[in-house]
Structure 1
Amino acid sequence: MAEVGLLAEMLTRYRPSSAVEAADLDRVRALLAAGDDPWSRSTPLHVTVSATIVHRATRRVLLRWHARQQAWLQVGGHADPGETDPLRVLLRESEEETGLSDLTPWPDSSMIHLVIVPVAAGGHEPSHEHADLRFVLQTRTPQAVRPENASAPLRWLSVEQAREATAEANVRETLSRVEHLLEHAPGNTR
């Protein structure tokens, strides 16, 4: 399967930074090895993608209010049927949720964090888990941001403000990794 090949390659290149993250990586590899569609929302554990969007000139990040989780989180989500490329899914989801049409992977297309997160039952879905592959996208047009709908507002924040806005430890860890990238980016004048 093409999607398993793309995911497997991405996971092979990824280096976890903790024992918990290594265990999550092992679970995602086992999901791929099982041979089922790793993107299928019908399985108790399935792959999702998300991104922290940065505006490098102002060193701000974009967070979205997620009503179901009652939390400020990064943007992203599920693959649509037939989608297999994690980065294409990520770019589509991110543009849909923010209105930003100039998003590009930054500093490259590498995953920066992998985390398995529990998702409470809601609507017609039972409780399940997301194997969330996290990336960084950049925009040069932060003023073009527009929320997908009125119940999903967006906020540009400093990394510190973003950490304070979210109660999710795994999102704080992602933000710390983004902050490190921003601090060590080529051409950084700080």
Structure 2
Amino acid sequence: MSAVDAFPAAALSQSLRTWDAPDDDQSALRAAYRAFVARQGEAAARRDGGPEHLTASAFVLSEDLTHVLLCYHRKGRFWVQLGGHVEPGDPTVPDAALREAHEESGLTGVHLLTTEPADLNRHELASAFGACRAHWDVGYVAVASTADRVVVSDESEDVRWFPVDALPDEAPDDQSSRVAYAVARARAALGAR
């Protein structure tokens, strides 16, 4: 096993090296993420690796890219994309995002469009999140059918489809731009097929 393939954080850092960031802010975050992984090593991808660690999320879009599936986060008290911690059995960060999408939505037909990130989002956390103080989230794009039955997990109070241009008021301030990055990444991935 090479050093790059040794753990999810190293593979992520390698993929970010050539990632086409959607804007200058995301490009600056890419450099910060790579420095974080270099500093933290394997611990960057572990929940028990310290108060700051990588998380993986999935912007689950409808097949026509007009809707996004959001969950009402029990601890955060807001609507966000599906996601969570990278677990020991996750071979890569994109695999963690897909696992979280399955777990939090119950959708069996959800799949990633690409293993390239849609966006990066480092955010501080309130005390309701326990020992976690900051998440270095990596968002990926997935698609699913809106006809499939959604199941609410224990981590959420609700899971619902929303138009990508009409997100709920109880979403974080940056949620609209994150969803826009996801839609743009999805269009690029579908156009390349």
* TM-score bucket of the superposed structures, by smaller chain: 0.7 to 0.9
1:161 maps onto 2:166 in alignment = yes
Tell me if structure 2 keeps the 8 A contact 1:166–1:172. no
TM-aligned CA deviation for residue 44 of structure 1: 2.6
Runs of 4+ residues deviating >4 angstroms: 181-185
Percent identity of equivalent pairs: 23
C-alpha distance in 1, partners of 2:32/2:185? Answer: 27
> Which residue is equivalent to 2:54?
47
Structure 2 counterpart of 1:112, one-letter code: A
- TM-score, normalising length from structure 1? 0.84
5+ unaligned residues in a row in structure 2: which ranges? 1-5
Structure 2 counterpart of 1:21, one-letter code: Q
1:114 maps onto 2:114 in alignment = no
Secondary structure in 2 matching 1:154: strand
User: After the TM superposition, which residues 34-183 of structure 1 pair with which residues of structure 2 at under 5 Å, given as runs?
Assistant: 34=39, 35-42=41-48, 43-57=50-64, 59-106=66-113, 108-122=114-128, 125-126=130-131, 128-140=133-145, 142-149=147-154, 151-162=156-167, 164-181=168-185
> Which residue is equivalent to 2:31?
26
Aligned length: 184
TM-aligned CA deviation for residue 19 of structure 1: 4.0
Give deviations 1:74-122, integer Å, cap 9, x for gaps. Answer: 001001234341122111111010001111112x221110111111112
Cα separation, partners in 2 of 1:30 and 1:15, compared to 1, 3 Å: same
Cα separation, partners in 2 of 1:142 and 1:128, compared to 1, 3 Å: farther
Tell me if structure 1 keeps the 8 A contact 2:10–2:37. no
Q: CA RMSD in A?
A: 2.5
> Which residue is equivalent to 2:3?
none
Secondary structure in 2 matching 1:83: coil
5+ unaligned residues in a row in structure 1: which ranges? none
